[in-house]
Amino acid sequence: MMEISDLERIARQIRLRDLRAVYEAGAGHIGGEMSVIDLLAALYFRVLRVFPDHPKNPNRDRFVLSKGHTACALYVVLAKRGFLPEEEISTFLKPHSRLNGHPNCNKVPGVETNTGPLGHGLPVAVGMAKAAKLSGAQYHTYVITGDGEMQEGSNWEAIMAAAQFGLDNLTLIVDHNRFQQGASLADTNDIAPLRPKLEAFGWEVSEINGNAMSEIVPALEKRTTRPHCIVARTNKGHGISFMQDRVDWHHKVPSKEQYEIALAELSEAL
């Protein structure tokens, strides 16, 4: 079992590779990728029961990245975990690459379902968890959404259904970085605080620092008698000083000078 310090080191390595991939591709969603990487590292290197050599093993845990625009971070994680050749990351967004701007389950091993249109991943994850209940399967389903994405009504229908079906095999993680495309959450449709809303729908809720591995791991490993939501308070652009908590870094590519600054800051943390 991987220790907290090892997970922190891996997350830093993933941030560096993600930064390079976005810079070389000239496109990406680097702010939200930096906020979610600690969660992805903990999932894939400690929590999820997955089989890189047999990606469709029926006993695998299911993971859905509902905020599919942060696909580059997922690709880097999948490559580091052994689902893809690590050198394939250099093809991100290039012509004929299978590493598109949103994950495709028909092309990329380890991707459970296509995501991109927001508000779809959680309903799909509810279906996966319900299927496990019906078939007696023992896998656990995890899904990560953005906090802006939680403005979608389809998510709240799924939340109601999960409580109704008693899906204690489902964990929702909300990447609560407080920003969405073009504005802060508070300036659009402020659904915070999330905890009382989820609890009112019958869910167990944990609130954590989503960039602190010591809080992420126990929250992900927690098991309850109800569906579980982790409200993970994160920083958009986490780890890069000029990106952190800046809405304009939702969809922006660093200049050469900015890339070198970010590279130095992330390298220093290794």
Domain with residue 209: its CATH number is 3.40.50.970
Range of the domain at 83: 4-268
217 pLDDT above the threshold of 80: yes
180 pLDDT above the threshold of 90: no
Shortest CA distance to 11 belongs to which of 266, 246, 242, 208?
266
pLDDT at 164: 98
104 pLDDT above the threshold of 80: yes
Provide mean pLDDT across the span 32-60: 98
Q: What percent of the chain is predicted at pLDDT more than 90?
A: 91
Q: Quick one: tokens of 53?
A: 């050599």
Number of domains observed in the structure of the chain: 1
Angle at 71 between CA 102 and CA 144, to 5 degrees: 105
pLDDT at 101: 96
Q: Quick one: tokens of 113?
A: 């379902």
pLDDT at 185: 80
pLDDT at 169: 98
